[in-house]
Amino acid sequence: MPNKLKILLASPRGFCAGVDRAIDIVEKTLKKFGSPVYVRHEIVHNKQVVENLKKLGAIFVEELNEIKDNTRPVIFSAHGVPKSVPEEAENKKMFYIDATCPLVTKVHKESERHHRNGYQIILIGHKGHPEVIGTMGQLPKNSIKLIETESDANSLKADEFNKPMAYVTQTTLSVDDTKNIIKILKKKFPNIKSSIKEDICYATTNRQEAVKKIARDCNMFFVIGSENSSNSKRLVEVAKKSGCKDSELISDGQKVPIEKIKNCKVIGLSSGASAPEELVQNFILEIKKDIQVSVEEVITANEKVVFKLPKELN
Ligand code: SF4
């Protein structure tokens, strides 16, 4: 084994408090109420997590009308749901437990507060992402206008809304890209209101900071995470923008690109908030089969956030 490779391991990486709580909710619901337990949408965006929970007796559906037995509990995913979903469950007299991350719920509450106070809301986020669908679904149609890019912000017209303005954001966006969009909004609408506390969550911010710190020293950067995981995809973008052009997402079941890694002296490694640590360690083990490796963990923050379980499980 002639090569010697250094792996810079970003920390924090992987599971955040919202993901830990959501998985715990499914496991504890199965324990307390037996199986099956239905889960609306992937509880978190990771195939391994979903497969493990299926083995314990969870059944995943996209909509409540796919549920065959309405007497069984149903759990709503960490990304949050539009108000119509709990309403539908109540109409059908279903027992539901909401695993929405408390930091997503915070954005829902901010949006409702702005709406009550008569503001037109701009949501910065990615069209079609379940969190965005959930946030937009907290309020009547047209109360929230979604924008995705700087160009969307630029094309908003100052007199488009005959109301005071406020903005909220998806929790898992790129911190830097979002700053630029907000700058444009503030220039256009100098009195635009923001949330009391930052909407991009601590986990997204910390994982991006850790990647930024090491990306420029790496020949290649790898992020373990699923294709549909917003925060994982943002980490790849952050690594590219921070100086490592050769940055890739390693999604579910994808092989370790060992031939490319063989040409590197240093690689960076991180994982999205919904990716189990086991996948990171397996990635390193695979490399070790062919290459001599030293691993250095670069810690940029210590996380101690823990969220309480919903009352139904206490
Ligand atoms: S990434 Fe942030 S908002 Fe999403 S579940 Fe984790 S802590 Fe909550």
CA distance 108 to 175: 19
Integer Cα distance of 65 and 52 in angstroms: 24
What is the pLDDT tens value at each position of the chain, 314 positions in all? Answer: 556 999 999 999 999 999 999 999 999 999 999 999 999 999 999 999 999 999 999 999 999 999 999 999 999 999 999 999 999 999 999 999 999 999 999 999 999 999 999 999 999 999 999 999 999 999 999 899 999 999 999 999 877 888 999 999 999 999 999 999 999 999 999 999 998 889 999 999 999 999 999 999 999 999 999 999 999 999 999 999 999 999 999 998 899 999 999 999 999 999 999 999 999 999 999 999 999 999 999 999 999 999 999 999 98
The residue contributing the CA closest to ligand 1 atom 5 is 18
Q: What is the 3-state secondary structure (H, E, C) of 222-249?
A: EEECCCCCHHHHHHHHHHHHCCCCCEEE
Please tell me if the CB atom of residue 132 comes closer than 6 angstroms to any atom of ligand 1: no
Percent helix, strand and coil across the chain, each rounded to 5? 40, 20, 40
Residue 114 CA to residue 124 CA, distance in Å, equals 15
Indicate if ligand 1 lies below 6 Å from the C-beta of 200: no
The answer to whether the CB of 225 is under 6 A from ligand 1 is no
CA 260 to chain centre: 28
φ, ψ of residue 121 in degrees (nearest 5): -100, 135
**What residue's CA is closest to ligand 1, atom 2?**
201
Q: Is the CB of 134 under 6 A from ligand 1?
A: no
CA angle 257, 23, 101 (to 5 degrees): 100
Distance 18 CA to ligand 1 centre (A): 5
CB 106 within 8 A of CB 198: no
| Global confidence as pTM | 0.96
pLDDT at 160: 83
